[in-house]
Amino acid sequence: MERTCENGTLRKEDAGKTVTLVGWTARRRDLGALVFIDLRDRSGIVQVTFDETMADKVKDVRNEYVLQVKGTVCVRKEANPKMATGEIEIHAQEVTIINASDPLPIDLSDNSTSSEDTRLKYRYLDLRRPSLQANLFLRHRVCMIARNTLDKEGFVEVETPILARSTPEGARDYLVPSRIYNGKFWALPQSPQIYKQLLMIGGMEKYFQIARCFRDEDLRADRQPEFTQIDIEMSFGDEETIFATVENLMQEIFKGVKNYKLEDHFLRITWNECMRRFGSDKPDLRFGNEIQDLTPLFQNTEFQVFRNVIDNNGIVGAVKFEHAAGKYSRKALDKLQDFVKQGFKAKALAYLKMTGEELSGSIAKPLSEEEKKAVITKLDLKDDDLVLVIADQPRIVETALGALRVKLAHELDLIPHESCYKFLWVTEFPMFEWSEEEHRWVAAHHPFTAPKDEDVDKLLTDPEHCSSRAYDLVCNGYELLSGSIRIHDQALQEKVFEAIGLTPEKARDRFGFFLDAFKFGTPPHGGVGIGLERLTMILAGTDNIRDVVAFPTTNSSLDLMSEAPNTVDDAQLDVLGVAVKDKK
RNA sequence: GGUUCUUUGGAGUAGUGGCUUAUCUCGUCUCCCUGUCACGGAGAAGAUCACGAGUUCGAAUCUCGUAAGAACCGCCA
């Protein structure tokens, strides 16, 4: 099919050229003997005019008809400054209606928003939306830069199996029944973790993969059941080598995509400090409002609530918001209290408001004059400042105030709208977390993560206070990547398995091949998995992962377009040796 | 597993117990129009108000249940 150029690329310099264009009818303005059609392809829109000799040929054309137009590029008498191609138009000489279109069930114009489920049902139409196409182009750019940058540094892309063995630690696996071995199952990889470590043992030294990962867990605005990681692993390095590689990669991506220069080295803080200051392991550093520990001010308090909390190893935490007291009514603050009670198990939310020199609010009365003065001095309170206070167990205080910090920053518009990217390495994550369900310690990152050298002796005796060599890279409140230095010593690996309650027999059963591999000269190694969607979201300036995935699912992992998952024929089940208990 | 919110012509919405024969915008259909660009003008069609039960003299509106969507908590090594 003849096509001489893309519609959105035409400019005044092209005037006089005869061109053949193809595309979709974005909009048609019919003035009778003169018809204008905005012809859209993926590059943009150009106005085509059909004069009295041509108007008849397009009288049946409606929105989204596919056309081929031959015509001359002409300078417009009156330019449209809102269009990239607004200085020119195409005077049509020939037109072919290539295909018709029914009226669309969704509205493609940018100022309208069809509901999320209608858009997902007709995703292939929603994809015609220029903003969505731009996101997919952006994602492509990120992948291209990642490939080129890593290639230049000697990393080799290796594909690892999608049909793999289930590794019960961690997220729930998607399972695939085996036809040849009835009763046995593949698992889709949650990440290529074990394979990339085996590649290190296999002597690849520097590996990467743009890898699809699968996790059968409940979704969020930034989580889909399948997603893509820029997966990187390297031998003979340490944190410094890996951080340098990632920082360079991020710099290249932000330069290539946004022409934005990131700082040479990203900030670093330990996990403990991060939780203390921000109540989150993925803090948004585009605004301040850090959590303050007020416990020392109330050591001798007679306020019973604080007294009880402090006597039971709790803390009193606070977050200050400047010029916010007037914006939060009693009702609004009650709502915030419900938010922390329901979401974060906090028993209550107290507040203080500064009016002139005077402190008022829910706990102003029970506090002594001395204590109030101490709070004012400690938080440097000025007129109209709002202070949210929670007294409870430390982790509850931190996470609840951390969540309020983010919530109010949004409500008070404290977050810069323009391009602003605050990167942060969070290091020394805890080695283990206590699982209430399983009544055992589980790996906080994954069980192949190396402990800090000085904590190796505490693995079995004091798992709670073991720190690991795991790290996250955080940007604007998103966990952009996770990684760690891995264990490369068989004895240490077995010890960590023991710490999470895996008996040697069970460990052998689940990871035997992996443990065996450690016996044969395993190099020290470590790496990261970068969340491609989250990175693209940040670059695209959206907070919904569906905006950067071509065919996303709903919150409940349904594809509304194809209606997957769905039933299969009994014959298909038979051959797999699978029976369905309760058909819904 | 839990919490909160949402569901009204093809699309987006207004409507908090009777003022409704359900509002407006876009789209659709018919006619007019040679400089529009979210074209304009005249007219028309199109909705058992997600589904089921209940309260009431009376329900799009109140209550309960079901389904679907969204955000969050748990979960996500």
Q: Which nucleotide is nearest to A189 (CA to C1')?
A: B77
Q: Which nucleotide is nearest to A52 (CA to C1')?
A: B34
CA end-to-end span of chain A:
48
Rounded to an integer, what distance in angstroms lies between the CA atom of residue A65 and that of residue A101?
Answer: 5
Phi-psi region of A265 (alpha: psi -120 to 50; beta: other; left: phi over 0): beta
CB of A220 within 7 Å of some strand B atom: yes
CB of A153 within 7 Å of some strand B atom: no
Q: What phi and psi, each to the nearest 5 degrees, are found at residue A383?
A: -50, 135
Residues A301, A307: contact at Cβ < 8 Å? yes
A103 CA to B28 C1' distance (Å): 8
CB of A82 within 7 Å of some strand B atom: yes
CB of A87 within 7 Å of some strand B atom: no
DSSP state of A77: S
Nucleic strand B contacts from chain A, 413-442, CB < 7 Å? 433, 436, 442
Nucleic strand B contacts from chain A, 236-275, CB < 7 Å? none
CB of A38 within 7 Å of some strand B atom: yes
Mean pLDDT per 10-residue interval, chain A, length 584 residues:
96 97 96 96 96 94 97 96 96 96 89 82 94 96 98 98 89 95 96 96 98 96 97 97 98 97 96 94 94 95 94 93 90 83 83 92 93 96 95 90 91 86 96 88 93 96 95 95 95 93 89 90 97 97 95 95 92 94 65
A543 CA to B50 C1' distance (Å): 28
CB of A84 within 7 Å of some strand B atom: no
Residue A276: its pLDDT value, please?
93
Residues A383, A360: contact at Cβ < 8 Å? no
Residue A113: its pLDDT value, please?
74
Which residues lie below 8 Å from residue A10, measured CB to CB, with a gap of 6+?
A: A19, A46, A73, A85, A88, A90
A16 CA to B31 C1' distance (Å): 37
